[in-house]
Amino acid sequence: MSNFTDLDGYLFGQGTHYDIYKKLGAHKGKKGKDNGFYFDVWAPHASKVAVIGEFNNWDETRNFMQRVEPESQGVFEAFVPEAKEGQLYKYLIYTEDGEKLYKADPYATYAELRPGTASIIYDNTKFKWTDSSWMKQRKSGNFWEKPLAIYEVHPGSWKRHPREENDGFYSYKEFAHSLTEYVLDMGYTHVELMGISEYPFDGSWGYQVTGYYAPTSRYGTPDDFMYLINYLHKNGIGVILDWVPAHFPKDAHGLADFDGRPLYEYADPKKGEHPDWGTKIFNYGKSEVKNFLIGSALQWVEHYHIDGLRVDAVASMLYLDYGKKPGQWIPNEHGGNENLEAIEFFKHINTLIRGRNPGVVMIAEESTAWPKITGDVEDGGLNFSYKWNMGWMHDFIDYMKLDPYFRKDNHNKMTFAMSYNEAERYILVLSHDEVVHLKGSMLAKMPGLEVDKYKNLMAGYAFMMGHPGKKLLFMGQDFAQGTEWSEARELDWYVLDNPNHRHVSRMFKKLLHIYREYPAMYEQDVSWAGFEWINANDGYRSIFSFVRKSKSGKNDLLFVINMTPMNYDDYRVGVPTNRKLKLILDSENKEYGGNGEKIPEVIIPRKEECDGREYSAAFPLAPYQIAIFTY
């Protein structure tokens, strides 16, 4: 009896075999009285296939695989009683032209550490989860009305051991404890992990994947990875993974021309290759390919308990001409540049994953103005939970890099995002992409002399945290690392010995705790009901004032942020109410590197018109000062 049944073949051919990862690949089984492993691989264009590995001393003649009925499906299977967990293996594929290809298993759950390219037999069903409380509460409530403050982290360069062994990487278990301690102290709600799906080249940061079902072996086994997720969950921390269905590399052991012909990719290079990236584009019109990707996403969410997937390079999937010049791409059937098959793929996968897993989020890294990324499918949308707000990010960085003298002429860069805030459900992001490739760290982008750089950065972070939208910050930027990020070394933790860096770290920690403590900061992110400008037009002084509102109307917040080195002895701001204002953050506190000249902790507004308001409040406002009040 075959491991891969007629029903499996039918569902796979329809693109709806949502547990396909339990069938294709290497799986423990029994045939007759023999225990061993079944190997199943999809290679429809192959003339024959053998599985080779440590169990047969890599003998290419010992374990030929048989085509499973119906043969047209192109699945090959072998049962190997000698196979044992932990052994290396590959598929030897004979092409129609008689060429021999040595391929890693596309559905492998574990892989050999680079530079090795073999797959590893591994039973990833033994781990005992103890995160039931987290998994239960994940399903409850409306996640759009919950806080979401994401710490984006690359495990291999967060911290490293000084030893050379295994590049000094922290194991998944070591990383679990060290990361959790830091995240709990700072106040983030989630971590987003880069570079988890197996990949061959460190310099790709995990964005050129060869193992869509395998946690990278750089940091340990799949069970070790599950320990990491379980530990984070038990400490109340959500986990988001970067996931890359847009393209894959041409490495010989990978998916490219898998059975001697284009299989996972579009056959025509004008549709199947990214000229700039040197990678292949998945064929979103082929049922089995869609099933491969959907199965990968479902495995991360359902088997590994991942709370969300951040989908990389969505724009490159939606546009047939993305990164291509005239003559390098093929229009769709209507003559347009939209990839209709990718659009349907997104509608399918987002609806499926969110429907089967309430509380799980699908996040689009989409850099254009494509409409309704987070809209409902019934309304023509793609049904993502959130979209990275790349427009806000570019405007924010452009503004913050300016000498304060020129900010008055660019005030709209900081206010423009509110004009389209209701178009999508956004995450405000300052990600790894903004601190690499000679772009400099966030601190390095700031103008002014040394102390001014830190004050500028704190003011920028306060604006980001107060602005509607969920939040994401890349590691190292919360303590103002001076050098730009490299995957080849750990973060510059030593700079925390410098008081300027400690001040930024304390400030961002305080902002995170305010964000989580006050529902006004997150409950109504998508609606004008949760935000109101006090003065959006004070460009001459480059001061921003606005309020964040909760559903209940209790503990609403007033933000005042000075973006210049100008000092105001008696700055007056309009307020929405005559209720007393209670100061909850003052950047002039010495804890944040201020001069200690504090704003009064309680201010009673007076009936004096300002900013079009009946009531107003006055207080001293120092250069680059941040003041946050609750009322």
Coil/strand/helix, residue 295: helix
Residue 377 maps to a domain: no
d(CA 241, CA 211): 14
Strand ranges (DSSP E) for 389-466? Answer: 426-430
Quickly tell me which residue has 């052991």 as its tokens: 253
| Percentage above 90 pLDDT, the chain | 95
Q: What is the mean pLDDT of residues 94-119?
A: 97
Q: What amino acid occupies position 407?
A: R
pLDDT number for residue 166: 74
Handedness of CA 473, 475, 480, 481 (dihedral sign): negative
Task: Provide the 8-state DSSP code for 113.
Answer: P
Residue 334 maps to a domain: no
Q: What is the mean pLDDT of residues 173-184?
A: 98
pLDDT number for residue 459: 98
- The residue among 68, 85, 120 that closes a domain is 120
Residue 105 maps to a domain: yes
Q: What is the 3-state secondary structure (H, E, C) of 148-159?
A: CEEEEECHHHHC
Q: How many CB atoms lie within 10 A of CB 17?
A: 23
pLDDT number for residue 2: 84
> In degrees rounded to 5, what are phi and psi of residue 160?
-135, 150
Q: Cis ω on the peptide bond leading into residue 115 (within 30° of 0)?
A: yes
Coil/strand/helix, residue 543: strand
Q: Which H helix or E strand runs over 214?
A: strand 211-215
Predicted confidence (pLDDT) at residue 71 exceeds the cutoff of 80: no
d(CA 202, CA 46): 31
Residue 84 maps to a domain: yes
Q: Cis ω on the peptide bond leading into residue 44 (within 30° of 0)?
A: no
Handedness of CA 202, 207, 208, 214 (dihedral sign): positive
Q: What amino acid occupies position 246?
A: A
Q: What is the mean pLDDT of residues 58-69?
A: 94
Look up the CATH number of the domain holding residue 551: 2.60.40.1180
Cα 585 to Cα 180, 220, 391, 511, 631: the distances in Å are 26, 42, 28, 8, 13
Helices (H), 442-498: 442-445, 450-466
Task: Provide the 8-state DSSP code for 303.
Answer: I
Residues facing residue 28 across a β-bridge: 37
Predicted confidence (pLDDT) at residue 165 exceeds the cutoff of 90: no
**pLDDT tens readout for residues 393-452:** 999 999 999 999 999 999 999 999 999 999 999 999 999 999 998 899 999 999 998 899
pLDDT number for residue 209: 97
Which of 476, 466, 469, 461 is closest to 507 using CA atoms?
461
**pLDDT band at residue 142 using 50, 70 and 90 as cut-offs:** confident
- The residue among 98, 120, 142 that closes a domain is 120
Q: Is position 312 annotated as part of the catalytic site?
A: yes
Give 357's contacts (C-beta < 8 A, 6+ positions apart).
301, 302
Predicted confidence (pLDDT) at residue 72 exceeds the cutoff of 80: no
**Which residues form the domain of 565?**
528-630
Q: Which one is catalytic: 312, 395, 523, 588? A: 312
Residue 563 maps to a domain: yes
Q: At what angle do helices 172-186 and 222-234 cross, to 10 degrees?
A: 20
> In degrees rounded to 5, what are phi and psi of residue 265?
-105, 160
Residue length of the chain: 631
Residues facing residue 583 across a β-bridge: 629
**pLDDT band at residue 69 using 50, 70 and 90 as cut-offs:** confident
d(CA 21, CA 27): 10
Q: Which one is catalytic: 242, 341, 365, 395? A: 365
pLDDT number for residue 631: 93
Residue 128 maps to a domain: no
Which of 367, 445, 432, 437 is closest to 399 using CA atoms?
445
Q: Is position 379 annotated as part of the catalytic site?
A: no
Residue 26 maps to a domain: yes
Q: What is the 3-state secondary structure (H, E, C) of 308-368?
A: EEEECCHHHHHECCCCCCCCCCCCCCCCCCECHHHHHHHHHHHHHHHHHCCCCEEEECCCC
Q: Are 623 and 565 in contact (CB under 8 A)?
A: yes
d(CA 22, CA 33): 22
Look up the CATH number of the domain holding residue 69: 2.60.40.10
Q: What is the mean pLDDT of residues 496-506?
A: 98
Taking the whole predicted model, whether its pTM rises above 0.75 is answered as yes
Q: What amino acid occupies position 515?
A: Y
166, with CB counted inside 10 A (0-12, 13-18, 19+), is middle
**pLDDT tens readout for residues 504-563:** 999 999 999 999 999 999 999 999 999 999 999 999 999 999 999 999 989 999 999 999
d(CA 624, CA 126): 54
**pLDDT band at residue 141 using 50, 70 and 90 as cut-offs:** confident
d(CA 330, CA 337): 8
> Considering just the CA atoms, what is the radius of gyration of the chain in Å?
27
Count up the domains in the chain and report the number: 2
d(CA 301, CA 622): 48
Predicted confidence (pLDDT) at residue 164 exceeds the cutoff of 90: no
**pLDDT band at residue 26 using 50, 70 and 90 as cut-offs:** very high
Which of 4, 18, 5 is closest to 290 using CA atoms?
18
Residues facing residue 572 across a β-bridge: 618
**pLDDT tens readout for residues 275-307:** 989 999 999 999 999 999 999 999 999 999 999
Q: How many CB atoms lie within 10 A of CB 307?
A: 24
pLDDT number for residue 404: 95
- The residue among 88, 120, 152 that closes a domain is 120
CA 566 to chain centre: 38
Residue 621 maps to a domain: yes
Q: What is the mean pLDDT of residues 605-626?
A: 96
